[in-house]
Homo-oligomer: A and B are copies of this chain.
Amino acid sequence: MGFPDHLRADIEGYLEGLRFSDERDTDGLEEAMRYSLLAGGKRIRPVLALATAHAVGMPTEDVLPLAGALELIHTYSLIHDDLPAMDDDSLRRGRPTCHVVYGEGIAILAGDALYAEAMRLVLTQQHGDPTRVLECVAELATASGVRGMVGGQYIDVQGLIEKGDAELRRLHELKTGRLIRAAIECPILLADDVTRSTTLADFRAFASELGVLFQIVDDILDVTGTDVALGKPQGSDERHGKVTYVSRYGLDGARAMAEESHRNARAALDRAAPDTADELIQITDFIATRSS
């Protein structure tokens, strides 16, 4: 099995090379941005974007700016989610969180700046006619706005404990699922007309199922994982009083749901790209069986 580490290496190299300004007076801001951006992690979202591009015959270089933008947006959301006024987490990916190192004010600005620079980055896409690039920007903005990531984080911090099944699913569709969907959908938006019209619906179904799978496993790992493997304290969901797939369905129930979701995701992928999805299969299996 394994993870497509060559794609992660491509992303790491690209992110390492990013600079946001030539001026010295914002160096400290860039340092805080890069501290969080280059803290490692599996780079699931940009790797998904590259693997999806490959599945429809597009080379890595055609979607690298898009892939980078996805990771900038994800990093920005982590920095803001970790703030004392939100989840108040002091450890992330095994290191002190941005506000612990640089202070709250700089952490808020580093998140803000990463989001703006993500939008700038995706506009440097050379591949794709302008209409398609605009659609990608719209998809990213929607995925990170009220009807996406930020809306999901709002529902999460409100912490309404009486959430039902549908509400729990919607919370995660917004908070994590929507950006994962954008990672898969955007490369298809940039593909040729035939690919797009014949595969978009199937890739969207795959993306939706993968988002659910990702979250169920995340909830399981929060209970079964170790601090070292997770890079953050285990059990933080319970301490924050959050409703999770585990708190709602028990560990065995959640595991059964993860298995079903894994099968569904693989089936959707078979329809979307029957012969060219090796890397996407690897990522899907990794998400289902990961230990961190």
Q: Which residues of B contact A137 (CB under 8 A)?
A: 119, 123, 134, 137
Copies of chain A in the complex: 2
The distance in angstroms between the C-alpha atoms of A170 and B24, with both chains bound, is 12
B120 near A150: Cβ-Cβ < 8 Å: no
B119 near A141: Cβ-Cβ < 8 Å: yes
Residue from A28, A138, A151 having most chain B Cβ neighbours under 10 A: A151
Number of interface residues of A (CB under 8 A): 52
Is A158 close to B, CB under 8 A?
Answer: yes
Is A106 close to B, CB under 8 A?
Answer: yes
The distance in angstroms between the C-alpha atoms of A222 and B31, with both chains bound, is 32
CB contact under 8 A between A80 and B112, given known A119-B141, A141-B120, A141-B123: yes
Q: Which residues of B contact A157 (CB under 8 A)?
A: 105-106, 109
Closest to A112 in B: B150
Is A249 close to B, CB under 8 A?
Answer: no
Is A20 close to B, CB under 8 A?
Answer: yes
Is A55 close to B, CB under 8 A?
Answer: no
Interface residues of A in 117-153 (CB under 8 A from B): 117, 119-120, 123, 129-131, 133-134, 137-138, 140-142, 144-148, 150-151, 153
Residue in B20, B129, B138, B170 whose CB lies within 8 Å of A120:
B138
B116 near A153: Cβ-Cβ < 8 Å: no
Binding site for B on A (CB under 8 A): 20-21, 23, 25-26, 28-30, 33, 80, 83, 85-86, 103-106, 108-109, 111-113, 115-117, 119-120, 123, 129-131, 133-134, 137-138, 140-142, 144-148, 150-151, 153-155, 157-158, 167, 170
